[in-house]
Amino acid sequence: MLKQLLCGTALALATSAALAAPPDATLQASLQKIADKARPGTLGILVMDPASGESVSVNPDRHYLLMSAFKAPIAAAVLSQVDAGTLSLDRKVHLTPADVVGGSAVPSLGEAVKKGARDVTIDELLHASVTQSDNTAVDALLRVLGGGATATRFLESKGVHGMRIDMGEGELSRMFEAKGSAAVLASQVDSSTLDGAASFLRKLQAGELLSPASTQKLLGLMTAQVIPNRVRAGLPAGYQLADKTGTSGAENGRRAALNDMGIITAPNGQKRIVVVFLADSPASMDEATKWFAEIGKLTATSM
């Protein structure tokens, strides 16, 4: 009888503990299930409350190839020079068809420059780079900055560690062609840890990277980015996302990178930082996109 009573008490306590599991533990378990679906690819996920700094993460101990997600930190580095007065938004950059780098979320600046040389302002380059994910625009911004090392030094100077920018889209594309995806991933060029990306986003939304005007400008450009639709696809009505996605090509049925990182704002003003980096994955684009949407929905539900 005593044994039965003890067993019953233990079961009740275990059930009570399970029911009382903290929200973060529940979210962690749910995110882990999605990451398990992504195997043999590696799905890195981080969700953070920027107010407290508390976070949950899955597969954090590696660098992930940023691809076009690097356009947000590059834009921040450019805007920091605008804040310092060494650049102006209306400064013009001369682009010729030789400067065109293929790739954008929508027909954008590169398509226009293909038809003939034109002068483009820094402001126009920022819009095309972040909102339309135009590769010609971001490589032009990197040239204005003086290269990826300048952007990395800016991030490091602001306490953003674990994120590095080495080269533009054109050079990275040539590296893929010459060495292959495995070599690019192993090199860790243009990459970030989950914590590095979360630190960038947290400091951006807190106004620790840029002036108030430049902060709002960059967040506005990120909010206006709606293609590709990944984490955003899972958010309920009324939730807002300021994000930047990134996508690599596929080689031998595996995609080196499929990414989204951003700041979710709920209707009540609460915020969550979400970083989702998928590496070396055989999943179809449709399948992977569903995982991103599921993560967006889970994050919103946890707020």
How many whole angstroms separate alpha carbon 228 and alpha carbon 132? Answer: 10
How many whole angstroms separate alpha carbon 20 and alpha carbon 57? Answer: 21
Q: What is the tens place of the pLDDT at every residue in 149-196?
A: 999 999 999 999 999 999 999 999 999 999 999 999 999 999 999 999
Q: What is the band of 17 on the pLDDT scale with cuts at 50, 70, 90?
A: very low
Task: Yes or no: say if 281 and 257 are a contact pair by the CB < 8 Å rule.
Answer: no
Q: What is the mean pLDDT of residues 110-139?
A: 95
Q: What is the tens place of the pLDDT at every residue in 225-248?
A: 999 999 999 999 999 999 999 999
Q: What is the band of 103 on the pLDDT scale with cuts at 50, 70, 90?
A: confident
Residue 193 placed within a domain? yes
The reported pLDDT for the residue numbered 4 is: 42
Q: What is the tens place of the pLDDT at every residue in 85-97?
A: 999 999 999 999 9
Residue 3 placed within a domain? no
Domain encompassing residue 256: 23-302
Count other C-beta atoms under 10 Å from residue 297's C-beta: 17
pTM: 0.91
Which CATH number goes with the domain that contains 154?
3.40.710.10
The reported pLDDT for the residue numbered 105 is: 67
Task: Yes or no: say if 50 and 127 are a contact pair by the CB < 8 Å rule.
Answer: no
Task: Yes or no: say if 106 and 228 are a contact pair by the CB < 8 Å rule.
Answer: no
* 14: pLDDT strictly greater than 70: no
Residue 259 placed within a domain? yes
Q: List Cβ neighbours of 1 (8 Å cut-off, separation of 6 or more).
A: none
Q: Which of 171, 173, 211, 302 is catalytic?
A: 171
Residue 16 placed within a domain? no
248 is catalytic: no
Q: In the predicted model, what is the mean pLDDT of the chain?
A: 92
Q: What is the tens place of the pLDDT at every residue in 69-87?
A: 999 999 999 999 999 999 9
Residue 255 placed within a domain? yes
The reported pLDDT for the residue numbered 110 is: 86
Residue 10 placed within a domain? no
Residue 271 placed within a domain? yes
CA 56 to chain centre: 16
How many whole angstroms separate alpha carbon 105 and alpha carbon 169? Answer: 14
Q: What is the mean pLDDT of residues 237-260?
A: 97
| 16 burial via Cβ count (<10 Å: 0-12, 13-18, 19+) | exposed
111 is catalytic: no
Number of domains making up the chain: 1
The reported pLDDT for the residue numbered 173 is: 96
Q: Which of 55, 57, 68, 248 is catalytic?
A: 68
